[in-house]
Structure 1
Amino acid sequence: MIVAFSVSPVGETHHVGDAVAECVRVVRESGLPNETNAMFTNIEGDWDDIAAVLKQCIEVCERHAPRVSMVMKLDHHPGAGHEHSLAYKTRRVEEAVEA
């Protein structure tokens, strides 16, 4: 499963960068394959592992503000047999662009 998500504290704070940076650290320390871009963080793994990371990110944001906003998109492809789907999908697009 791959999940693209964006999470941010809402209310009583004008600067969300510190909370977002803490969440990115949580993702990276999880050991799951991941990448961060200007809009989302992508993470790959089993649902239970990903859900635990998302929960930690929500808890981080709760320390910064009274509300949390999260946008999430997931690609669940059970039994696909693809390892490293995150890297494969990115590489495949880059190869197509260069062709």
Structure 2
Amino acid sequence: MDLYAVADFCLIPIGTGEPSVAEYIAECQRVLEKSGLKYKMHGYGTNLEGPWAAVSQAIHDCHAAVHAHGAPRVATDIRIGTRTDREIAPGTGNEGKVRRVEQILEKDAK
């Protein structure tokens, strides 16, 4: 059984000699678009979810693409969560986490 993974990763190109890494991050986003996985970029990383093997492969492919784009070094911070106590419908892992917190905050507002 391949675990369903809900991940957040921050890919960091190193040694580019440029103050902005936006071009390199755009290259990674192109890879994720082709992966077919659910993802959402944010200011300091990307949420990504799907089968563990596919998530790992997508992050690997981002590294390869960013190296091919000219970055001599790439570092990535990754947080991955899995659970087996309930079923997570594909593509709803990150949204479900956010929605649950929003529901709690809505109760506070009442």
Shorter chain as denominator, the TM-score bin is 0.7 to 0.9
* Aligned residue among 51, 58, 61 for 1:53: 58
Change (3 A) 1:74 1:26: same
2:10–2:76: 8 Å Cα contact kept in structure 1? yes
Q: Which of 92, 98, 102 does residue 90 from structure 1 map onto?
A: 98
- 2:46 corresponds in structure 1 to 41
User: After superposition, what is the alpha-carbon deviation per residue over 1:27-73, rounded to whole angstroms, capped at 9, x for unaligned?
Assistant: 13322122111112011111111111001100122122211110000
Q: Counterpart of 2:7?
A: 3
Give the residue type in structure 1 aligned to 2:56.
A
Q: Normalization by structure 1: what TM-score?
A: 0.88
Q: 8 Å contact 2:8–2:45 — kept in the other structure?
A: yes
Matched length: 99
Higher radius of gyration, 1 or 2:
2
The residue aligned with 1:22 is 27
Tell me the secondary structure at the aligned position of residue 45 of structure 1: strand
**Structure 2 unaligned blocks of 5 or more:** none
**Counterpart residue number, 1:65:** 71
Deviation of 1:79 (Å)? 5.3
Give SS of 2:64's match. Answer: helix
The 1-side partners of 2:100 and 2:31 are apart by 27
Using structure 2 for the length normalisation, give the TM-score: 0.80
For structure 1, the residue ranges without an aligned partner over 5 or more in a row are none
